Amino acid sequence: EFCRNNNIAVCNVQGGSAFAVAEYCIGSVITLSRQLHLGNSALHLGEYTSIRSKMLKKKMVSLQSQNVGIVGFGSIGRETAKLFNLMGCQILCFDLVAPDPVEVKKVGANISDLPTLLSQSDIVSLHVPLTTETEDLITKTELRLMKNNAILVNAARGGVVNEFDLASVIESEQIKGAVVDVYSKEPISSENPLLNLSPIAKERVFFSPHIAGITKQSWTELFRSSWENLSLFFDNKTPKNRQI
């Protein structure tokens, strides 16, 4: 209200970090699917033979021919779908707002309802904002629809996934694992159920500190676009993607 009443423009830089987030999703899923994170610390401890055997027993999986479900088909979801498709994956997409068929076709995707997407996908990647509609979008009900070899990726917002339910299905091996970049409370609390998984269950989670969209290139684009909008505003021109 203050911005509206004082002629202060509020704008969104759309898609500025889309490639960075998509790249993160690809990289983190490869890391988890190939168990690469296990080798990093083990070799420093002289566990070359044992960790290699452990990784082989876990049956490392490539992205090629995997079914990927994209939940949220905005600029980030579309870019993520595009990269997974380039890696040889089949793409399903779901959004609370019907996806544009033209954009769907561009990335080789098929529109799906959420239960079908969850039940058919080997990888489920979330790209929705946190709203009253998306809070707890993924709970135990939805997680139980997923394959037991599936990976859930949350590089969207922490509140989209119920963390207690996610911890439960990972602990019980109802899904293969998860990539988690965002949390219901940030910085993440020591009481977060995902940090209190058993040591074996923790091996099935790739953690990062809300960093998916941050690269040198993405920040450069965000600042460039923001500066362009400032210039437009003070030149009495219409800023791009104005929200207020």
**Catalytic machinery residues:** 157, 186, 210
Amino acid at 88: G
Phi, psi of 99, deg, nearest 5: -65, 145
Q: Give the largest Cα separation in the chain, rounded.
A: 67
Query: Is 215 exposed, middle or buried (CB count within 10 Å of its CB: 0-12, 13-18, 19+)?
Result: middle
The beta-carbon contacts of 98-103 under 8 Å, at least 24 apart in sequence, are 99/73, 100/73, 103/73, 103/78
| Best CA proximity match to 127, nearest among 2, 231, 24 | 24
Q: Which amino acid is at 133?
A: E
Amino acid at 224: R
